[in-house]
Amino acid sequence: MRLKDKVALITGASSGIGRASALLFASEGARVVVADIDEQGGIQTVESIQQAGGEASFVLANVTSDNDCKGMIEHAESTFGRLDILFNNAGVMDSNDDNVETTSEETWDLTMNINAKGVFLGCKHGIPALRRAGGGVIVNTASFVGLMGAATPQIAYTASKGAVIALSRELAVIHARENIRVNALCPGPLRTELLMKFLDTEEKKQRRLVHIPMGRFGEAEEIARAALFLASDDSSFVTGTEFVVDGGIMAAYVTPE
């Protein structure tokens, strides 16, 4: 088991990548704290873990709230005694997100608050806990669009994920000597509820699919396996990276300098 005796906190774990990762981490021996604003979905994730023989606990948390982020870290330490892995995964893709001329300030603020500020607050309160544990791992969910832009306009989402990548890089450098690794996980387009709600027409779906060399959307479980690699000792010399899992998009469209 690659996460035996580890304690992992995953935000946005009521569905999608978060739920898939929570189930996988637990199956690899981690005790998992499921943090989400969706209480019903979060509890269902915990119940699924427990039914499979794992250990998990739910904490209600809005990642845009400083108090909630502080509280979810405290919950992890008080429930399981420590924190070894922090997976800042909670995110939003607003259907009103569009190009820079038409996207509203409300959509911009909502997206940046959840996707970027939420990661900042998770790290702000999580890093001291990892330090108390003698080191640990942070995985922050970014996106391939934070590296190359999106075919379908979504300016706030793209900007927020670029912020996550830059934040992860700096934290990796600052905390490397404290045995704290930080990496940005950059998924390509996935067949998750989050993206399918945004790509709400066949035309929009095809505009994404045509750019994916593998010709299909990724699955949440595939990203969970990448997160497991980054969270485990298998990646013990990996920090400060943009870990891209995109079906070949970057290889096809980004020219090395």
Q: Which residues are catalytic?
A: 157
Q: Are the C-beta atoms of residues 233 and 227 closer than 8 Å to each other?
A: no
Distance CA 33, CA 42 (A): 10
Q: Which of 233, 222, 162 is nearest to 189 (CA)?
A: 222
Half-sphere exposure of 1 (CA within 13 A, CB side): 13
Q: For residue 134, count other CB atoms closer than 10 A to its CB.
A: 11
Distance CA 181, CA 246 (A): 22
Angle at 145 between CA 140 and CA 150, to 5 degrees: 155
Angle at 60 between CA 55 and CA 66, to 5 degrees: 120
Q: Are the C-beta atoms of residues 78 and 1 closer than 8 Å to each other?
A: no
Sequence-distant (≥ 6) Cβ neighbours of residue 174 within 8 angstroms: none
